[in-house]
Amino acid sequence: MPRLQTAADLEKLRTEILAARDPAKSCIAVCAGAACDGMDSAAVAAAFVAEAGKLGDKIEVRPTGCHGYCEKGPNVVVTPGDICYFEVQPTDVPEIIAATLQGEVVERLVYKDPNTGAKAVHMHEVPFYKHQMRLLIGDNPKIDPMRIDDYLAVGGYAALVKALTEMTPEQVLDEVKKANLRGRGGGGFPAGSKWETTRNAPEKTKYVIVNGHEGESAAFMDRAMLTGNPHKVLEGLIIGAYAIGAQKGFMYTRHDMPLLEKHVRQALAQAKEYGLLGKNILGSGFDFECELHFDVGIFVSGESSALMRSIEGNPPEPRPKYIRTSVSGIWDKPSNLNNVETWANVPQIITRGAEWFTSIGSEKSKGTKLISLSGNVVNSGVVEVPMGTPLRTLVFDIGGGVRDGKTLKAIHFGGAMGGSIPADLIDAPLDFDGMSKLGAPIGAGGLLLMDEDTDMVEVARYLMDFLTQESCGKCVPCREGMQQMLHILTRLTEGEGKAGDLERLEDLVEVTGAASLCALGKTSGDPLKSMFRYFKPEYEARISDQAAGGSAAK
Amino acid sequence: MSKMCEKEIDSIIEKYRGQPGSLIHALVEIQHENHWLPREVMHKVAEALEVPFARVMQIASFYKTFSLTPKGRHEVHVCTGMTCHLRGAARLQSKVEELTGLKDGETDAESRFTFATGACLGSCSIGPELIVDGKHYGRMTPEKVEDVLKRYE
């Protein structure tokens, strides 16, 4: 493939790719997302390739990233028609191929409502998908992440063309600011303002970074996005770099996901080959390159300043942020870091405009949000809904409620530094500020359901145990404060609670929160705060029970 | 360390010669190749990348990914992420510990298994999970563990 010299070259290539494709030709998309891959979807894909191979060129088989409905993997989607098959085994393959050739459906493999038995054949009828708005993740079944042509076929890099040929960097920045795109990594900070700070920083050398670390336990939407559609994230990054005036980008992601690494490497190589990275991109005069970096297995390296230390080749210890990383980051140069999902939102804002984007979502949180739905839920998976969607929709309409017929006790958001709210707050809307006020900030978007059997003291102990292992140890309040909290919580769960324990915990939460260097320590007590707010009787029972000589530990 | 691995390791080190900023890259690649970082290899890295040996040790001992001791032939992991935890990972972990006689992070005397807990690989929907040499065994129960481990000698 010769390097594309101009925007017109790219559009010509896109026309050629589309012309060579027959939309009526059947295509079987086999999910290779984290859960499906774990259920050996690779064997299913191999069976499809072998079986379809016997037919010559009649049916295309496409390995793809995460479709979303992880609970029912391995997932298979047949187009045209978006026919969804669930829990597909290699032995089902000949039947699916035969039915596809006949234009028929394999009834036994389609969705069946567990209560009514009603079947749903097409994606838009399956309850899990029906209530979603899949602007970001929706392309995943249409794309083989190893092929840039698949991304071009769904309109990929059109936003980059528009930004480079029709817009000045200032206009791109303005559009993102007007869209009020807020950071999806946890803070909800406006991306446009952050970009502007880096853009206005006096240094000439600037960097942009994709934070694809996703160390939060039970969060898996970023890797679904980045593994399944790496070019969308890259396109957002290149557009951002253009607006900010950065010459170099870094993708920082997990080292322990072989497919993720493979897809991102390939995406970067293909983008370079096509001339979407490198010197004079599409003849615009804009130069940009991007390097891939990996975390080395510690949670705190997802914190922005720690992540930047890690890219420099140093241990990932956070630093105080008197000066923001957007002014002084990697090698003390202005460095703008955004999360995978934030970058993935950029292309559509450029293509469809800020006005369109702000028409979706709640008053202060715009667009859609990717959610990792898991825990004691019937339908776990990657979900995308407009901001402002009531939690009830997520939990019941999409999630199908609580597993094993149990009742919902709590909803936990935001992983180890998030919070839990009781089931009666289920009508709260998914909104950055609203959820923060309730004490369960959205964080990166991991939503866990906890059923009636959940021991909330044990949950807090578990989360604290996780954080103590992940602290970098640099600052004392975090290192020691969390140890002490863990110590007390462990005692409580083991039936050794003492009078004064809860007051001591409250003290520790406050001091650790006020005195720690980075967000890990600062928010380490957040789950406990939410517990004390909503589930305090459970904690008090541990003290009084034990004072009376009984044990409340399960 | 086999001859083959030694050659691979040398070529990784050569690739990063004179690039102190690539220390982590080099160590990750060596860890993936050799499954642990022998001391003499870290000395070689220090020399080639022109960083003090103490810094190599700092990085190698800080990150959990790096192992400073040899690992068993098979790496057994139980995911202890939140969903796996809620879905019964603790019982799974006890069963693995009972069957292998290993605690988190240990390797047996015959170098058959190294056992470690970890979180989270993001395949929460199929938790609790047992992962052996990178192969996922989803929706694992304590009852099924023995059969899985038997396959690895």
Q: Which of A525, A544, A538, A543 is nearest to A456 (CA)?
A: A538
Tell me which of A396, A427, A451 is where a domain ends.
A451
Contact B113, B102 (CB under 8 A): yes
Q: Within 13 A of A402's CA, how many CA atoms are on the CB side?
A: 15
Q: Is A59 helix (H, G, I), strand (E, B) or coil?
A: strand
B135-137 sheet: strands from edge to edge: B113-118, B74-79, B130-132, B135-137
DSSP letter string over A380-411?
Answer: -EEEEEETT-BHHIIIIIIT-SBGGGPPEEEE
**Predicted local distance difference test score (pLDDT) of residue B4:** 64
Q: Which of residues 20-79 of B touch A (CB under 8 A)?
A: 20-25, 27-28, 58-59, 62-66
Contact A8, A40 (CB under 8 A): no
A350: in domain = yes
**Predicted local distance difference test score (pLDDT) of residue A241:** 98
Question: From the CA of B129, how many Å to the nearest CA of chain A?
Answer: 9
d(CA A152, CA A10): 9
CA dihedral sign of residues B145, B146, B148, B149:
positive
At A454-487, the pLDDT tens digits run 999 999 999 999 899 888 888 999 999 999 999 9
Partners of residue A76 on adjacent β-strands:
A30, A85
Domain CATH code at residue A504: 1.20.1440.230
The full 3-state SS of A344-361, as one line of letters, equals: HHHHHHHHHHHHHHHCCE
Q: Identify the domain containing residue A523 by its residue range.
A: 456-547
Contact B17, B48 (CB under 8 A): yes
d(CA A426, CA A417): 20
Contact A123, A131 (CB under 8 A): no
Examine the domain organization and report whether A439 and A475 are in the same domain: no
Examine the domain organization and report whether A180 and A286 are in the same domain: yes
The per-residue b/e assignment along A60-71, b for 16 or more CB within 10 angstroms, e otherwise, is bbbbbbbbbbbb
Contact B141, B148 (CB under 8 A): no
Examine the domain organization and report whether A393 and A269 are in the same domain: no
Q: Which pLDDT tens digits describe chain A residue by residue (554 residues)?
A: 789 999 999 999 999 999 999 999 999 999 999 999 999 999 999 999 999 999 988 999 999 999 999 999 999 999 999 999 999 999 999 999 999 999 999 999 999 998 899 999 999 999 999 999 999 999 999 999 999 999 999 999 999 999 999 999 999 999 999 999 999 988 899 999 999 999 999 999 999 999 999 888 889 999 999 999 999 999 999 999 999 999 999 999 988 888 999 999 999 999 999 999 999 999 999 999 999 998 876 777 778 888 898 888 777 788 877 788 999 999 999 999 999 999 999 999 999 999 999 999 999 999 999 999 999 999 999 999 999 999 999 999 999 999 999 999 999 998 888 999 999 999 999 999 999 999 999 988 999 999 999 999 999 999 999 899 888 888 999 999 999 999 999 999 999 999 999 999 999 999 999 999 888 899 999 999 999 999 999 999 998 765 555 444 44
Q: Judge if the upstream peptide bond of residue A422 is cis by omega within 30 degrees of 0.
A: no
Burial class (CB in 10 A: 0-12, 13-18, 19+), A499: exposed
Q: Is A110 helix (H, G, I), strand (E, B) or coil?
A: coil
d(CA A552, CA A54): 63
Examine the domain organization and report whether A440 and A461 are in the same domain: no
Examine the domain organization and report whether A223 and A350 are in the same domain: yes
> What domains are defined for chain B?
3-62 (no CATH), 74-150 (3.40.30.10)
d(CA A268, CA B108): 41
A150: in domain = no
pTM of the shown model: 0.93
Examine the domain organization and report whether A71 and A214 are in the same domain: no
| Cβ atoms < 10 Å from Cβ of A323 | 12
According to DSSP, the β-strands at A289-294 and A248-253 are parallel
d(CA A303, CA A44): 38
Q: Which of A531, A509, A448, A515 is nearest to A220 (CA)?
A: A448
DSSP letter assigned to residue A457: H
Question: From the CA of B24, how many Å to the nearest CA of chain A?
Answer: 6
Helices marked H in A371-493: 391-392, 432-438, 456-470, 476-493
Partners of residue A383 on adjacent β-strands:
A371
In this complex, the residue of B23, B27, B82 whose CB is nearest that of residue A375 is: B82
**Predicted local distance difference test score (pLDDT) of residue B1:** 58
Domain CATH code at residue A123: 3.40.30.10
Contact residues, chain A, for B56 at CB < 8 Å: none
| Cβ atoms < 10 Å from Cβ of A258 | 11
Contact A153, A17 (CB under 8 A): yes
Tell me which of A451, A483, A515 is where a domain ends.
A451
**Predicted local distance difference test score (pLDDT) of residue A165:** 97
d(CA A110, CA A84): 6
Who contacts A57 (Cβ-Cβ below 8 Å, separation ≥6)?
none
**Residue A502 is inside which H or E element, if any?**
helix A501-515
Q: Which of residues 409-468 of A touch B (CB under 8 A)?
A: 412, 415-416, 446, 448, 450, 454, 462-463, 466
Examine the domain organization and report whether A215 and A337 are in the same domain: yes
Examine the domain organization and report whether A392 and A474 are in the same domain: no
- Using the beta-carbon criterion (under 8 Å), do A310 and B24 form an inter-chain contact? yes
A363: in domain = no
**Predicted local distance difference test score (pLDDT) of residue A554:** 40
DSSP letter assigned to residue A254: -
A378: in domain = yes
Question: From the CA of B149, how many Å to the nearest CA of chain A?
Answer: 17
A2: in domain = no
- Using the beta-carbon criterion (under 8 Å), do B125 and A37 form an inter-chain contact? no
Number of domains comprising chain A: 4
Contact residues, chain A, for B66 at CB < 8 Å: 296
Examine the domain organization and report whether A37 and A79 are in the same domain: yes
Tell me which of A430, A451, A472 is where a domain ends.
A451
Mutation test of the interface with chain A: which of B64, B123, B129, B133, choosing the one with the most A Cβ atoms within 10 A?
A: B123
**Predicted local distance difference test score (pLDDT) of residue A310:** 86
- Kindly state whether B124 is in contact with chain A, defined as any CB-CB distance less than 8 angstroms: yes
Token digits of residue A66 = 């995460």
Query: What phi-psi label fits residue A519: left (phi over 0), alpha (psi between -120 and 50 degrees) or beta?
Result: alpha
A4: in domain = no
Who contacts A313 (Cβ-Cβ below 8 Å, separation ≥6)?
B20, B21, B22, B23, B24, B25
d(CA A81, CA A79): 5
Question: From the CA of B1, how many Å to the nearest CA of chain A?
Answer: 22
**Predicted local distance difference test score (pLDDT) of residue A474:** 86
Burial class (CB in 10 A: 0-12, 13-18, 19+), B35: middle
- Kindly state whether A325 is in contact with chain B, defined as any CB-CB distance less than 8 angstroms: no
In this complex, the residue of B23, B87, B134 whose CB is nearest that of residue A313 is: B23
Examine the domain organization and report whether A295 and A415 are in the same domain: no
A164: in domain = yes
Token digits of residue A368 = 């859609």
**Residue A412 is inside which H or E element, if any?**
strand A408-413
Q: Which pLDDT tens digits describe chain B residue by residue (153 residues)?
A: 566 688 899 999 999 999 988 898 899 899 988 989 999 999 999 999 999 999 999 989 888 789 999 989 999 999 998 899 988 999 999 999 999 999 998 999 999 999 999 878 889 999 899 999 988 999 999 999 999 999 998
Instruction: Tell me phi and psi for residue B72, to 5 degrees.
Output: -70, 175
Examine the domain organization and report whether A410 and A528 are in the same domain: no
| Cβ atoms < 10 Å from Cβ of A116 | 7
Domain CATH code at residue A403: 3.10.20.600
A148: in domain = no
Examine the domain organization and report whether A295 and A351 are in the same domain: yes
**Predicted local distance difference test score (pLDDT) of residue B2:** 63
